[in-house]
Chains A and B, each alone.
Chain A
Amino acid sequence: MKQIKLILYIFGFTIIFLNSLKAENSEMVEKISKNLRCLICQGQSVYDSQSDFALSMKILIYKKIDEGKNETEIYEFLKNKYGDWIVYDPEINKNTILLWVIPLILFIFGGILIMKKVSIR
């Protein structure tokens, strides 16, 4: 009787353990697919979209995570295939440097402008 109980416990725990592992994966898929642009229905993320492309993409991300790839590796893989445009969060490189720097310049410029106005008064 005790043995059966023990076996049941072990069985139950392994199921819970495996489930939680899987849940972690799908959370990861969610996180990654929210940062990917769907190329079919542009303006939507892969996470939101129900197009064939997005559905397959989610399966693919799941598979890649199962293979042991991490988040950045998956982004790299997709950027290789589809270009930087597919990720919402553009990384800093030669093409996107203006995108990152202009707001900063405007912010500093605005700051200087305000300072001047205030000091004149």
Chain B
Amino acid sequence: MIKNLKFIIFIILSFFIFFIFLKGLDKPNNYLPEKTLNKIETSLVFKSLNNQEEILLEELINNSNFSIINIWASWCVPCREEHAYLLRLKNLNKINIIGVNYKDKRSNALKFLSDLKNPYSKVLIDKDGTKSIELGAIGIPETYLVNKNKVILKKYIGPLDNLKFREIIELIKNETN
């Protein structure tokens, strides 16, 4: 009797453990640092893509109630996909879109913008990628929605899509009300 009981408990326990591990397989185990930063680092000085002048990020963010900081490069394929959404966001005329050109050649970046149109009010250069790290980025494309007080309302890792586009509009609506 006791032997039987032990066997049954063993079986139940094995099933239990098996299903826990099975469930664990579905769980994404990639860590994304999404909710760690509340405020954007604005004391960074960037060079502008157009005329090489030096710009403090803070000045650009102060210009508008809402800013989007979008990190992109001409060699980045998902950046091409999300470009249409950036153009649509620009057409709303509510958001100041700042581009950070990540580890790119100047000529390629300019060609990218002339081919696909330019949604950015200003394009800043990050030649060695260190400034993107100071912004808290891990890869490109990455997009930050920031308000005037430098608070990050939302951070998107990966390209923008229709869903994220609508969410941005929703967020801005909620903030202005």
**Which residues of chain B are near A85, meaning CB under 8 Å?**
31, 33
B36 with A81: CB separation less than 8 A: yes
Task: Check: A52 CB closer than 8 A to any chain B CB.
Answer: yes
Q: Report B-chain residues with C-beta under 8 Å of the C-beta of A82.
A: 33, 36, 136, 138
Cβ-closest chain B residue relative to A57: B133
User: Is A81 touching B136 in the complex (CB atoms < 8 A)?
Assistant: yes
Give the distance to chain A from B23, nearest Cβ to Cβ, in Å. 20
Bound form: Cα–Cα A13–B118 in Å: 53
Chain B minimum-CB-distance residue to A81: B136
Q: Known contacts A39-B31, A40-B138, A60-B134: does B128 contact A81 (CB below 8 Å)?
A: no
Q: How far does the alpha carbon of A85 sit from the alpha carbon of B32 in the complex, in Å?
A: 10
Q: Check A50 for interface membership: any CB of B closer than 8 A.
A: no
Contact B33–A81 (Cβ < 8 Å): yes
Given A39-B31, A83-B33, A83-B36, decide whether A60 and B136 contact each other with a Cβ distance below 8 A.
no
What DSSP secondary structure best describes chain B's contact surface? loop
Name which residue of chain A comes closest to B29, CB basis: A42
> B31 contacts A40, CB within 8 Å?
no
In the assembled complex, which residues on chain B have CB atoms less than 8 Å from the CB atom of A83?
A: 31, 33, 36
B17 near A: Cβ within 8 Å?
Answer: no
- Scan residues 76-106 of chain A and give those whose CB is less than 8 A from a CB of chain B: 80-83, 85-86
Among A53, A60, A63, point to the contact of B138 (Cβ < 8 A).
A53
Kindly state whether residue A70 has any CB partner on chain B within 8 Å. no
Q: B129 near A56 (CB under 8 angstroms)? A: yes
* Complex contact B128–A56 (CB within 8 A): yes
The answer for the CA separation of A55 and B130 in the assembled complex, in Å, is 9
User: Which of chain A's residues have a CB closer than 8 A to the CB of B139?
Assistant: 40, 52-53
Q: Verify A81–B129 contact, CB threshold 8 A.
A: no
Q: Decide if A63 touches B31 in the complex (CB within 8 Å).
A: no
Shortest distance between the CB of B157 and any CB in chain A (Å)? 10
A63 lies within 8 A of B130 (CB)? yes
Residues of B within 8 A of A39 (CB): 31, 33, 138
Q: A101 CA to B32 CA in the complex, in Å?
A: 26
Q: Which of B21-38 contact A (CB under 8 A)?
A: 30-31, 33, 36-37
| A-chain residues with CB within 8 Å of residue B138 when the two chains form the complex | 39-40, 53, 82
Q: Which residues in A have their C-beta under 8 angstroms from that of B130?
A: 56, 59-60, 63
Mark each residue of chain B from 139 to 157: 1 if its CB lies under 8 Å from any CB of chain A, else 0.
1000000000000000000
Residue of B nearest to A55 (CB): B129
Interface string of A45-83 (1 = CB under 8 A from B): 000000011011101100100000000000000001111
List residues of chain A with CB under 8 Å of any chain B CB: 39-40, 42, 52-53, 55-57, 59-60, 63, 80-83, 85-86
**Chain B interface residues toward A at CB < 8 A:** 30-31, 33, 36-37, 103, 128-130, 132-134, 136, 138-139
A39-B33, A82-B136, A83-B33 given; name 4 further pairs at CB < 8 Å: A40-B139, A60-B130, A81-B36, A82-B36
